[in-house]
Structure 1
Amino acid sequence: MDYSPIIATKRSRFQLLEDLMGQPGFFDDPKKAGELTREHRRLDMLLKNWDLYQKQIEELTASREMSTCGDPELEAMALAEIPLVEKQVEELENRVQVAVLPPDPLEGRDALIEVRAGTGGDEASLFAADLVRMYSRFAETIGWKVETLESSPSDVGGFKEIVMKVSGDEVFRRLRYESGVHRVQRVPSTEAQGRIHTSTATVAVLPEAEEVDFELKADEVRIEVCRSSGAGGQGVNTTDSAVQVMHIPTGIIVRCQDGRSQIKNKDKALGILRSRLLEKKQQEEAAKYSAHRRDLIGSGGREEKIRTYNFPQNRVTDHRIDLTLYSLDTFIEGKIDDMMDRLLADDLAERLAEAGLR
């Protein structure tokens, strides 16, 4: 495919953004300035990759011509070089293809991960804790920061529910496909007969919402302060630090009590509320996507069974892309890169096909 017309349009847009960013008052509107700055950064990378792509094509053409020049020594050098240059051309073309796709404005954001125990009682809460540890260890390996915003521990050391914020580079882009129902098959430690039990936990990955995304009007939000309950120490349990926020138009309720500071709990609750409202907006927009793409990757809904973790067989299977790995022992410890890369690759291939670029 000839990308030249697209690149010419992108280059003109890049120059326009350069001019806009140099004008006084550009940052007066933070939301718009942020969007344009991110677009400028994406276009800059696209144009650099395009220029390098053109140079590599020229080098590949020259090498192919040299491979039939009649000089045995030069031909041998060219033939040895051609596969390396072809690989570089392919990689650069993939980068260009990705960059010309319409960007998802949420991909670069931090994310909130909500994990809830599903069916299975205590075992489900223990599995929820396993998932929390899995995501936390994965985040540590790539330098992301994990912060617990709210949690409800179970009596056996697991979690009934937990909300974490993950901060770093392209967090939502990589974690977004974790949303759905995760199923575990294993023998619980309390099972005397050695029978395999099936339990579930649900995961929801939400892009962190910014204040500019939603204006929470005072008459649409009800904030209540009450005494914290549950584990947390004497200081937490004897202060009115728990905060419950209700969004009246949607009925969404968020409660935060993990911290001793009422102000911090209120800020956390409002942050979670904004992200849940953004998720609701995403779900409404998701109805516009093609049915084929929803079948391929899934809707990302909380109710959709996406993955099975079978401990007796050391097997983890992602049902959306029909991928099975026999390395559950390391997968559950945070080595989930291979699965994430495949999910990203399959989604990208479908996006390219829809855009007519493949």
Structure 2
Amino acid sequence: MRDKLDAIRHRFEEVSQLIIQPESMADMTKYGKLSKEYKDLSKIVKKYDEYLQVTGNIKQAREVLNTEKDPEFREMAKMELEELQPREEELEEELKKMLVPKDPNDDKNAILEVRAGTGGDEAAIFAGDLFKMYQRFCEKQGWKMEVLDLTEGTAGGYKEIISMVSGPEVYGLLKYESGVHRVQRVPATETQGRVHTSAATVAVLPEVEDVEVEINMNDVRKDTFCSSGPGGQSVNTTYSAIRLTHIPSGLVVSCQDEKSQIKNFEKALKVLRSRLYEMELSKHNAEISAQRKSMVGSGDRSDKIRTYNYPQSRVTDHRIGYTVHNLPTVMEGEIFDFIEQLRMAEHTEKLKEGSDNA
């Protein structure tokens, strides 16, 4: 572990010098990357410095016990050891966690897509409930949410709704929400009072820059159409809405949020780029999962991840077997507890994997 930490310190010192060079400050992209690396490395270096100080003090206390004859000095050294040794263990665990490779996408903004699954009108209503849940969660985090495109359900809710979420560590938190969400409740349309099971699919994609995914615009067909609202009524008479079709992959993206065709085109292109990136990422993850199956995983949208049982006020995450009995609170956006439990489970997996490969 110390070899890795010494290498990190060396890199930190390099970045400290690079970041103040005139050529770095003149290139904002380069400066931004160096600033982020400096910030990330400084946290580890600071913790490592504390660890070295604690281990150094432990070494000195042991030397006193081995060489000092004075009972008072020996007692002080013994008390210091009793205080420092638990702290040494704590710092070791904290540093091990810090050394677990971080997903480079975690700090990015995200595209959040919610779609009705099996269950007809009730699935669309549930998709709407889920989207409201995420809206409230985003508000609590201080994030900005922009709706890019939506198709409303005939009885309420959404057949599909796509949004952009912007803020710190958006993808790193929301990525655990990808998958199939199942609801068990009596639908508003049910006359017999029977509990039905419906589902909605959530996909969370990291927003990617054009340098990360290169799109040949000759492969993209661009169509324009009039934005429409509830009931198909015309919202505006200009062809400002955009539909992009990526011919090689068959991916289709629409955006009608803005009155400006140019802005809609830019937003649709962001979604298309993120979906293409996700396709490549899925192939990469499939290769990894062929060797090992992660308990938490990257949130395959075909996996049933969570059940919301209204009669029992119960919410269960099936990936980690975590259950709470406060469904109304969860639907008000209090989902951070689930995300934290999933992060801890994934972290434990990575630590175990690291020790197995050591």
TM-score (norm 2): 0.87
Matched position secondary structure for 2:235: helix
Residue ranges of structure 2 left out of the alignment (5+ in a row): none
1:224 is matched with 223
Write the deviation string for residues 59-103 of structure 1: whole angstroms up to 9, x where unpaired.
67889999xx9xxx9999999999987775555434322222233
Which amino acid is the alignment partner of residue 261 of structure 1? S
- Return the alpha-carbon distance in structure 1 between the equivalents of residues 42 and 227 of structure 2: 50
Q: How many Å separate the matches in 2 of 1:179 and 1:249?
A: 25
Number of the residue aligned with 2:17 = 19
Q: Using the alignment, how far apart are the partners of 1:205 and 1:155 within structure 2?
A: 25
Uncovered stretches (5+) of structure 1, i.e. residues with no partner: none
Partners of 2:321 and 2:280 lie apart in 1 by 29
Aligned partners of 2:60 and 2:193: how far apart in 1?
A: 67
Equivalent position SS for 1:321: coil
Relative to structure 1, is the Cα distance of residues 162 and 312 closer, same or farther in structure 2, using a 3 angstrom cutoff? Answer: same
> Could you tell me how far apart the structure 2 residues matched to 1:189 and 1:317 are?
23
Shift of 1:194: 0.9
Corresponding residue for 2:333? Answer: 334
Amino acid at match of 2:203: A
1:289 to partner: Cα distance: 2.4
Superposed, 1:1-358 pairs within 5 Å as 3-26=1-24, 34-57=32-55, 89=88, 91-231=90-230, 236-290=235-289, 294-356=293-355
Aligned partners of 1:215, 1:90: CA distance in 2, in Å?
Answer: 46
1: CA distance, partners of 2:126 / 2:80:
51
1:334 positional shift? 0.9
* CA distance in 2: counterparts of 1:102 and 1:341, whole angstroms: 18
> Matches of 1:342 and 1:292 in 2, distance apart?
25
The superposition leaves residues 208-229 of structure 1 with CA deviations (integer Å, 9 ceiling, x where unpaired) of 1112212222212221112223
* 1:285 to partner: Cα distance: 1.2
Between Structure 1 and Structure 2, how many residues are aligned?
355
Percent of residue pairs identical: 47
| CA spacing shift, 1:90–1:160, aligned 2, 3 Å | farther
CA apart distance, 1:320: 0.9
Cα separation, 2, equivalents of 1:187 and 1:78: 67
Alpha-carbon separation, structure 2, partners of 1:332 and 1:197? 18
Cα distance in 2 for residues equivalent to 1:20 and 1:208:
28
Determine if contact 1:174/1:340 at 8 Å carries over to the other structure.
yes
8 A contact 1:114–1:164 mirrored in 2: yes
> Partner amino acid for 2:335?
I
Going from structure 1 to structure 2, the CA distance change for 1:112 and 1:74 (only over 3 Å counts) comes to farther
Query: Aligned equivalents of 2:136 and 2:63: distance in 1?
Result: 50
Greater displacement, 311-320 / 322-331: 322-331
SS in 2 for 1:25: helix
Shift of 1:174: 1.0
Is 173-182 or 25-34 further displaced after alignment?
Answer: 25-34
**Residues 63 and 202 from structure 1, CA distance in 2 versus in 1: closer, same or farther, beyond 3 angstroms?**
farther
Task: Point out the more displaced range, 88-97 or 41-50.
Answer: 88-97
- Retained in 1: the 8 A contact 2:241–2:255? yes
Equivalent-residue separation in structure 2 for 1:49 and 1:205 (angstroms): 32
| Counterpart residue type for residue 46 of structure 1 | I
> Taking structure 1 as reference, are residues 149 and 23 closer, same or farther at Cα in structure 2, changes over 3 Å only?
same
The aligned amino acid for 1:136 is Q
* TM-score w.r.t. length of structure 1: 0.87
> Hey, what's the Cα distance between the residues in 1 that align with 2:291 and 2:83?
36
Q: How many Å separate the matches in 2 of 1:30 and 1:62?
A: 47
Q: More displaced, 228-237 or 171-180?
A: 228-237
The one-letter amino acid of 1:174's match is: L
* Matches of 2:207 and 2:327, distance apart in 1: 29
Deviation at 1:231, TM superposition (A): 2.8
Larger displacement relative to structure 2 (221-230 or 22-31): 22-31
Residues 308 and 316, structure 1, Cα contact 8 Å, conserved in 2 = yes
- Aligned equivalents of 1:329, 1:83: Cα separation in 2: 47
* Contact 1:235–1:260 under 8 Å retained in 2: no
